[in-house]
Amino acid sequence: MHVLASKADLTTATNRLQGALAEKNLAHIGLRTKGGELHIAAADRSLAVYCSLPSQIHEEGSAFVPAKLFSDVVKELPVGPVSLQVSENWLVISAGDKQQFVMKLPLTKDAQWEEQPELTTTSIAAIPALQLAYMISQVQFCIASESSRNYGSVCLLHRVDNKTLRLVGTDGFRLSYCDISFSMPENFLASGICLTKRALGELARMCHEGFEQIELRISEDETNLCACVDGYRIYLLLSAVKYPKYQGVLPNKLPAQVSAPRQVLQNVARRVLLAAGKTKALQLRFAESALTMSSKSMGNAEGRERIPLADYAGAACGMAINGKYLSDIFSATTSENLLIQFANEEKPIMLVPLVEPSNCCSKHVLVPIRESE
């Protein structure tokens, strides 16, 4: 194999592969020339990433190299064209305007190139990348990498109606969901699928590269998902977790509501929580056209701050919530103002961004906690 490519294209490709290199020291990256392009791939048991980039092919072939070493070298290459050539048991990398930089990497033996899977499916939809990225950002933070509740480590992607796609995540103490509306094919996503936090991260990575649309393909048996754009594909093994019927957690009627600036709420919560200790318990009390946030630890620390709320004239109401969960919502949303809806100290509290991207709608639900928790 002998191929000439640009440093910029190689850098983009290797960056895309990083999510498939869970154990970089043990993983390898595959390189293959075919059809006038250089194909680069990496995979593990649940994720595979394939990229293709324009290049000058001098000799076709394939090579496999240590993932971390190859990624580190590409990152540090000098500006200019890059030559990749197999010579005996080495991949020789030459770079720079005059090919002044040279490095030899050992080839990984006994590795074989795996062709991209072809998913048999009619469940295909092209989703606006900006909407998909926003939807992920509004749910990803409340999904754990590992959870004692199996559904706490995945999210549910399902269609609400003919035009609305919803992503929802919950750990039993909080729930966030986001709806996006677009022209959804009738055959797309007949039933919901579960995605891990890692899968969401890979989809978000693709969305943030500036593509207009991301095509999602779901296999007929709903065990695999492929996210596609030109020259870049991600294959994800879907989770087999059976997601609970979360709709029962959503509060039906929250009679009291008030709007407040997100940045003010975020700053006050951060200051007051300094006194909360490990419990992160945050007391909210709505009364007399104001919201008072307070916290205290088992020692002598105690914090309190009052936020004026001109549009609240309801009865006094207090509740305790997990302050970290509240801060996560403040950090995730981009809306300058939030609508806070509640009923009493026992029912969930809901936060709704008042301004969101076009065709996007998200809501966040927090279950009150007891002070002893």
305 touches 153 (CB < 8 A): no
Q: What is the pLDDT of residue 68?
A: 92
CA 291 centroid distance within chain: 32
Residue 111 lies inside a defined structural domain of this protein:
no
CA 370 to each of CA 66, 221, 296, 320, 322: distance values in angstroms, whole numbers, following the listed order: 52, 43, 14, 6, 10
Look at residues 72, 106, 140 and tell me which one is the last residue of a structural domain.
106
Residue 112 lies inside a defined structural domain of this protein:
no
**170 and 283 part of one domain:** no
33 touches 94 (CB < 8 A): no
pLDDT over 70 at 124, yes or no? yes
**215 and 301 part of one domain:** no
Residue 118 lies inside a defined structural domain of this protein:
no
User: What mean pLDDT do residues 11-36 have?
Assistant: 88
Residue 113 lies inside a defined structural domain of this protein:
no
Residue 114 lies inside a defined structural domain of this protein:
no
Q: Which two tokens stand for residue 221?
A: 């048996």
**131 and 155 part of one domain:** yes
User: What mean pLDDT do residues 285-304 have?
Assistant: 89
Residue 148 lies inside a defined structural domain of this protein:
yes
Look at residues 216, 247, 278 and tell me which one is the last residue of a structural domain.
247
Residue 158 lies inside a defined structural domain of this protein:
yes
Q: Which of 237, 191, 188 is nearest to 214 (CA)?
A: 188
Lowest mean pLDDT among 40-54, 260-274, 289-303, 324-338: 289-303
Q: What is the pLDDT of residue 373?
A: 43
**358 and 283 part of one domain:** yes
Q: Which domain holds residue 340?
A: 253-366
CATH number (domain holding residue 282)? 3.10.150.10
3-class secondary-structure state, position 79: coil
Beta strands 337-342; 154-159: pairing state: unpaired
3-class secondary-structure state, position 102: strand
Task: Give me the chain's average pLDDT, please.
Answer: 92
**263 and 319 part of one domain:** yes
Q: What is the pLDDT of residue 63?
A: 96
Residue 115 lies inside a defined structural domain of this protein:
no
Q: Which of 325, 360, 363, 355 is nearest to 133 (CA)?
A: 360
**287 and 329 part of one domain:** yes
> pTM of the prediction?
0.92
pLDDT digits (tens, 9 = 90+) for 195-240: 999 999 999 999 999 999 999 999 998 999 999 999 999 999 999 9
What number of residues does the chain have?
Answer: 373
DSSP string, 228-278: EETTEEEEEEPB------GGGGS-S---EEEEEEHHHHHHHHHHHGGGTGG
**175 and 259 part of one domain:** no
CB burial of 66-97 (b: ≥16 within 10 Å; e: otherwise) equals bbbbbbebbeebeeeebbbbbeeeebebbbbe
> What is the maximum span of the chain, computed from C-alpha positions, in angstroms?
80
**100 and 136 part of one domain:** no
Bridge partner list, 127: 214
Dihedral over Cα of 246, 249, 255, 261: its sign: negative
**239 and 129 part of one domain:** yes
**237 and 275 part of one domain:** no
Cβ neighbors of 230 (< 8 A, separation 6 or more) are none
pLDDT bracket for residue 24 (50, 70, 90): low
Look at residues 231, 247, 263 and tell me which one is the last residue of a structural domain.
247
3-class secondary-structure state, position 330: helix
pLDDT over 60 at 76, yes or no? yes
Bridge partner list, 228: 215, 233
**216 and 289 part of one domain:** no
pLDDT over 50 at 372, yes or no? no
The count of domains in the chain is 3
**242 and 273 part of one domain:** no
pLDDT digits (tens, 9 = 90+) for 153-195: 999 999 999 999 999 999 888 999 999 999 999 999 988 999 9
